[in-house]
A and B are shown apart, each in its own frame.
Chain A
Amino acid sequence: MRRSDLGEFEEIVLLAVAALAPGAYSVSIAEELENETGQTVSTGAVHAALQRLEQKGYLSSHLGEATQERGGRRKRLFTVTAYGGKILHDVRSVRNSLWDRITPAEMTKMGLNFSNS
């Protein structure tokens, strides 16, 4: 697996697309991320990340319907491809296995209570 392919922001955007399916497009993703993180996220940044992800083949897209708010412009909706799903899974399993290897004693030292989350 080529971990270097996926930046942190890209990973979050990719997850957001999966979570928001089937209504994932720049605005909904940006708003969602703002809600989750409490930080301002600009549409341009999200769009650029989406573009990159699509180029790498993790996402596919199609044009959706136009609304009046958008000035009559259509939106581009994104869905995660099978390859994208595999990548997400890989990332997750790496994380999980690492989490699992942390000893309870170490966990307590870090100030994390292992017994319940």
Chain B
Amino acid sequence: MQPLPPRWLDKLAHRICAPHLREELLGDLYERYALRHRRTGARKANWFFMREVTALLRPSIMKRKPSPYRSPSAFNPEMLRNYFKIGSRVLLKNSGYSAIHITGLSIGLWACMMVATVVIDSLSYDRQWSRKDDIYRIVTVNKMAQNISERNSSSPSGLAPVLQKNYAEVESWSALSSGEKHFKIRLTDNEGINTNLLTADTSVGRILDLKLLAGTLKHPTQAHQSLVVTRSYAARIFPGQDAVGKIIYDIPVFSSEPTPYEITGLIDDLPYNSHLRADAIRLEVSKPETLVNNGIMSFGRNYILLKHGTDIAEFTKKVNAFYVRFMKNNDREQFEFQPLTDVYLHSDFAEGQRVKASIRTIYIFGGVALLLLFIACVNFVNLSTAKAFARVKEAGVRKVLSGSRMQLVMQLLTETLLLFGISVGVAVFAYFFTLSPVENFLGHRLILTFTSNMLMAAGALLMFFLTALLTGLYPAWVISGFKPAATLRGMFTASLGQIGLRKTLVVAQFSISIIVLVATIVVWQQFDLMKNKELGYDKNNLIGIEQISWNGKGEAFKNEVQRIPGVVRSTLSTWMPTEGAGYMQREVKDPIHANRRIRVWYIAGDIDLPATLGLKMVKGRTFSNRFADAFNADSLREADVAKFEQAQMRQSSLMTATAAQMLGIRQLDTYAKDAQSVPVGIVSDFHNESLYEPIKPTLILAQKAPEYGGMLIRIQPGTEMQVAAGIRRIWKGFFADKLLRINNVEQQLTKQYEAESKLHQLFLFFSGLTMFLSALGIFGLVVQAAEQRAKEVGIRKVLGASVAGIVGLISRDFVKLVVIAIVVASPLAWYALQKWLESYPYRTPISWWVFVATGTATLLVTIGTVSYQAIRAATADPVRSLRSE
């Protein structure tokens, strides 16, 4: 028998050898193999054959002989022109499909651009300072108990100077705090200009790059406060004049007289995309405090500039070790150094930081937009592969006429690029005109946009081009891969893999839509819960005057307010809803759990406070004039601090139920050590802070006309305007110079949940879009299916099928896919939202009806989309579809 070389080597040799050389060369190999086999046996012959095959790897043998019937290169200019010509004709001919494609892609691309803008803008914050990598904010970490710690954006004022003295790494430091102030140009002006004010000491120039245009960054005058203004702000208040040297006045909140500010410097505008965004800087002479290890320390927002290349982890360790030693082995307070570039996005803990965003929102935002683009691209792929049916004949003819596969791929890619190009145009147009509504929605300006930054625009175009290539490649590959003989004979059956892929993509698409829809409902429920939850006090018909110093006229003012028709009750209070948990907090040992400390919060107001808020009594009595509950804290403190402390011990207090329980108070009307007062009554719990925080144990003290504080006014329903007008009138008489800020408490409360409200609006918008795009995709598919099955439908009808039966036949496949999507998406949505809700102390339950409702809605949308085409197909005249060909 003829000995044969191993099959795989034979195949390999066949593969390597060019077709025109195969006969002689492979024959030679066989012959030599037979010779060797006879001479040395099978093993050596096989071994030698392998060497022979490797020896075939040379260009002269591998190089294929070019075909004598060559098609022109797929990239020659004639062909390129041809692609565009044919491509645009195809798109025009199938204008319906093109419209679906363009709508879907435009929406996807637009959303993606928009969100990319927001994300890039958020990431750009504080990146323009030249020393951005070396500036850190000192963050205090307060250990409350094992594993529980609180982070605070302020740190002891004495710390930074000590660090500069002790450590060579520290170059400089500065205390920076930002706030708002109203300034007026003349003393006699009534209205002030709202100004973002950064308060800094004179060392600020060493940390931030301030480009001084005129004046000085020092603090030259002792007579006035010193103010450095930015160029655009100067142009606003003194248009066309030299602002330096001018004096402007603030509208006081706490002091009784307007304070004069001298403009001592003019700087270039500060970057808007910085958490230190400001119109003007109030300069203060830096007077470093000494760090003490016992007694009272003041806190401030301190920034520290380190030498370039300092290992921050190492430095943090050193500082904390030093601090523990300094505080005599008390490690309750530790410090972290937060990089300047992290301050904007990673400051959820920082109360009072006005310019910040949450990285979580950015993630959600970006995720949803990417999903949207995914859905749009899926639509494209699905429709194109489904339409392959219409294109394969063309592909077959082109191939027979010596078109290469490369040319076909190029042709189809050109069409994809054309569609993407048009969509990008539409998207950019929409983007340009929706930028400002989006800015309004966000509440701040976007600095880096695709239409303002060339680099970003170029990057975006490149990304679009790549997306188009990736999306277009698969359908092009599929369509160009069919054998021309089979397609021309009409033996076209979509391969199983393709249908499987298309189905998977539809399921993925709808799953995403369903998840977003469920998220929309749940976010809304959470927002609704926070907005409408019973707070323990009556938040309706309550208006507040923001905190000021009353200059001793508080009591009199209150009496006047009391007389305004519509006012039911009013109170001077040191605590206003939405402004923190209380004016004072005290840490006491937990009487129930050893080793734990609890924080008790104090609220003070005059004796009308509980009644004005509408707190419910649980036990004991409320404050009353009969018992001398009110305590003249201000005057007592001024007279004698020691006596004041003693008197405070005997002071009557009300406590919330939680406080009573946590402090273990059983007996009223006797001095309680942990409460440092005499509890006379217990009121039911109320939320003194937003619902992001769990309920806080709180004590209420009564003070006689507190000097610093706001005012809460309970009014009759529907009299808000009238009462506000009355207050304004009285205010003029009492505090002509002071800024009056009246709020509706309920509105203020709702404003706290702006993040949720925005998230909800965003989801509402996105859920609409994803659902629309998914429906669009399925619509395209159903059109395709109806066309493809026209003949089948015709035959069925001739054989007596009913319209309903045929509609069912066509719709069934799609409805099935959507049902699968519902089953897949529901648990995913449930899990994701459960995770999201975990961070809220008060969360809405995710009930089963949410899933039922979204499922039903999705099914309705699907059936609505599908049945229109299905009915059209079912009612078509069968003669028409059967007569063709």
Q: Which residues of A contact B (CB under 8 A)?
A: 25-27, 30-31, 40, 42-45, 47-48, 51-52, 63, 66-71, 73-76
Contact = CB atoms under 8 A, between A and B. Distances in A.
B737 to A, nearest CB: 102
A69 B61 CA distance: 22
Between A40, A52, A69, A75, the greatest number of chain B beta carbons within 10 A of the residue's beta carbon is seen for A69
11 contacts: A25-B28, A40-B51, A42-B51, A44-B57, A47-B25, A47-B28, A48-B60, A52-B60, A73-B23, A73-B24, A76-B24
A115 to B, nearest CB: 40
A13 B28 CA distance: 16
Interface in B167-207: none
A69 B28 contact: no
Interface string B58-96: 101100000000000000000000000000000000000
Interface in B13-57: 21, 23-32, 34-35, 48, 51-52, 55-57
Contact of B30 (A31, A45, A73): A73
B2 interface: yes
A71 to B, nearest CB: 5
A75 B58 CA distance: 20
Contacts of A42: 51-52, 55
Given A48-B61, A52-B60, A43 B35 contact: no
Given A27-B32, A51-B60, A45 B27 contact: no
A70 B61 contact: no
Given A44-B55, A68-B2, A73 B27 contact: yes
Nearest to B22: A73
Given A48-B58, A70-B30, 7 more contacts: A27-B28, A27-B32, A31-B32, A44-B61, A47-B21, A47-B24, A69-B2
Between B24, B29, B55, B57, the greatest number of chain A beta carbons within 10 A of the residue's beta carbon is seen for B24
A47 B61 contact: yes
A26 B48 CA distance: 16
A46 B61 CA distance: 11
A76 B28 CA distance: 9
A31 B2 CA distance: 20
Contacts of B35: 27, 31
Contacts of B24: 25-26, 47, 63, 73-76
Nearest to B21: A47
B599 to A, nearest CB: 86
Contacts of A63: 23-24
B246 to A, nearest CB: 92
Contact of A71 (B27, B32, B52): B27
Between A40, A42, A68, the greatest number of chain B beta carbons within 10 A of the residue's beta carbon is seen for A42
A20 B208 CA distance: 91
B27 A75 contact: yes
A1 B31 CA distance: 37
Given A43-B25, A48-B60, A52-B60, A27 B31 contact: yes
Contacts of B31: 27, 67, 69-70, 75
Contact of A43 (B23, B52, B57, B60): B52
Nearest to B17: A44
A52 B60 CA distance: 9
A94 B784 CA distance: 80
Contacts of B52: 42-44
Nearest to B25: A47
A25 B773 CA distance: 69
Nearest to B24: A76
Contact of B56 (A44, A66, A75): A44
A43 B55 contact: yes
Nearest to A76: B24
Contacts of A70: 27-28, 30-31
Contacts of B51: 40, 42
Contacts of A27: 28, 31-32, 35
A63 B415 CA distance: 50
Q: Which 9 A-B pairs have the closest CB atoms?
A: A73-B27, A42-B55, A44-B55, A70-B27, A76-B24, A69-B34, A26-B28, A44-B56, A71-B30
Interface string B762-788: 000000000000000000000000000
Given A27-B31, A27-B35, A73 B60 contact: no
B817 to A, nearest CB: 53
A94 B700 CA distance: 121
Nearest to B3: A69
Contacts of A26: 24-25, 28
Nearest to A68: B2
Contacts of B23: 63, 73-74
A69 B26 CA distance: 11
A42 B35 CA distance: 14
A4 B35 CA distance: 35
B60 A71 contact: no
A26 B55 CA distance: 14
A27 B25 CA distance: 10
Contacts of B58: 44, 48
Contacts of B21: 47
B10 to A, nearest CB: 9
Contact of A75 (B28, B34, B48): B28
Contacts of A52: 60
Contacts of A51: 60
A25 B27 CA distance: 11
A30 B60 contact: no
Between A25, A51, A71, A76, the greatest number of chain B beta carbons within 10 A of the residue's beta carbon is seen for A71
A4 to B, nearest CB: 19
Nearest to B53: A44
B24 to A, nearest CB: 4
Contacts of A40: 48, 51
A106 B160 CA distance: 95
Contacts of B61: 44, 47-48
Contacts of A76: 24
B28 A71 contact: no
Contact of B26 (A25, A31, A68, A71): A71
A69 B34 CA distance: 6
B829 to A, nearest CB: 63
Interface string B338-368: 0000000000000000000000000000000
Nearest to B16: A44
A43 B27 contact: no
B30 to A, nearest CB: 5
A56 B51 CA distance: 28
Contact of B27 (A31, A44, A48, A74): A74
Interface in B117-143: none
Nearest to B28: A26
A61 to B, nearest CB: 9
